[in-house]
Amino acid sequence: MRILLTGSSGWLGSALAPRLRGLGHEVIGLDPVSSSETNIVGSIADRELVMQTVHDNRIRAIIHSGALHKPNIENRANSDFIATNVQGTLNLLDAAVAAGVERFVFTSTTSLMISQAIRDGFEGGARKAAWLTEEMSPEPRNIYGVTKLSAEHLCRLYHLQHGLPVVVLRTARFFPEADDMAHAIEQSDANTKANELLFRRLTVKDAAQAHVAALEKAPQLGFDVFIVSAPTPFRPEDCAQLIADAPSVVARHFPGYPRLYARKGWTMFSSIDRVYDPSRARERLGFVCKTSFADVLAQLRAEEGDS
């Protein structure tokens, strides 16, 4: 299948393009930044370029992972986010319909699900962690979330109006950069990322594989939205204690973790304010992330055995 991959020079695109080619697909990469995975250097906000690229390359599927992201908020105007994340998505959808594209996968974000109230730890008027599923009505707290949610709505509209099969993947964190939270709580980056696998992170390899699964299932699903995150050990009834005393909840699920963490010099977050529930992706998309917090602990035990 000939696939247009936007964001091909990015962290996800660089992992996804080789995987798609390994499955026998022909990948046309489009990105404003040049790289070995990018065939066409340009912006999805350039409508003429998008229309021509999809038509001339006889594209049969689009994986749309290109966007301005949360870190860009500091140095890009709101209008830039609209142009890229909203108008750019509209350009791709119009090109898909015009060219008879058979399936469309959109990389969205769990970030759009986090309102200021959730970030402050108040869910339903009470102070507890938010249990987040696809059924909630998002209230994005910044221009990044607003534009990604708007793009999701466009995807839904084009499925309803034109029958375009679209799968939206709300991916949790998988970026390689150090989280600013690690500095704030004086944890190492590896420590922070390990903790986040409990409730809001996945590996880039798992993110890429989720897109492959969505590409394969799109015609069957028609339209659907999925949270993609590592499997969480938590349950909704854990949410009140996760805010008050997260280490105790983690120890209940993983009794051996305190010793392994102490030996490594790591610490658990004192409070966890949200949990992304990826069970819908397991049930309807048939996808489960391979790497979880349990794998981190297994690696720590292996390191202990080597010492």
Tokens of 115: 């309102």
Please report the pLDDT score of residue 186 as a whole number.
66
Phi, psi for 290 (deg, rounded to 5): -80, -30
- Give the global pTM: 0.94
What is the identity of the amino acid at 176? P
Tokens of 244: 């008050």
* C-beta separation of 57 from 28 below 8 A: yes
- Name 18's Cβ contacts closer than 8 Å, sequence gap at least 6: 37
Closest by CA position to 154, among listed 208, 97, 100, 76 = 97
User: Rounded to 5 degrees, what angle do the CA atoms 124, 107, 123 make?
Assistant: 5
Please report the pLDDT score of residue 187 as a whole number.
78
| Model confidence pLDDT, tens digit, residues 16-45 | 999 999 999 999 999 999 999 999 999 999
Phi, psi for 15 (deg, rounded to 5): -85, -30
Beta carbons within 10 angstroms of residue 253's beta carbon: 15
Residue at token pair 């200021």: 116
Please report the pLDDT score of residue 182 as a whole number.
46
Beta carbons within 10 angstroms of residue 221's beta carbon: 18
Q: Is the dihedral of CA 174, 175, 177, 180 positive or negative?
A: negative
Q: Is the dihedral of CA 100, 283, 255, 118 positive or negative?
A: positive
Instruction: Give the separation between CA 21 and CA 1, rounded to whole angstroms.
Output: 10
Residue at token pair 């008027």: 125
Q: Is the dihedral of CA 91, 97, 100, 103 positive or negative?
A: positive
- How would you class 278 by CB atoms within 10 Å of its CB: exposed for 0-12, middle for 13-18, buried for 19 or more? buried
Please report the pLDDT score of residue 17 as a whole number.
98
| Positions of the chain with pLDDT lower than 70, given as ranges | 121, 123-126, 179-186, 306-307
Instruction: Give the separation between CA 53 and CA 297, rounded to whole angstroms.
Output: 46
Q: Residue 79: beta bridge partners? A: none
Please report the pLDDT score of residue 70 as a whole number.
85
Pairing of β 223-228 and β 274-276: unpaired
Q: Residue 169: beta bridge partners? A: 107, 226
Closest by CA position to 202, among listed 225, 180, 176 = 176
Please state the domain extents for the chain: 2-306
Residue 173 carries which DSSP code? B
Where would I find the H helices in 169-256?
Answer: 180-184, 189-196, 204-221, 239-253
Please report the pLDDT score of residue 120 as a whole number.
75
Cα separations (Å) of 46 from 17, 109, 154, 156, 170?
22, 23, 18, 22, 25
Instruction: Give the separation between CA 45 and CA 91, rounded to whole angstroms.
Output: 7
CATH T-level topology, domain 2-306: Rossmann fold (3.40.50)
Total H helices, total E strands in the chain: 13, 11
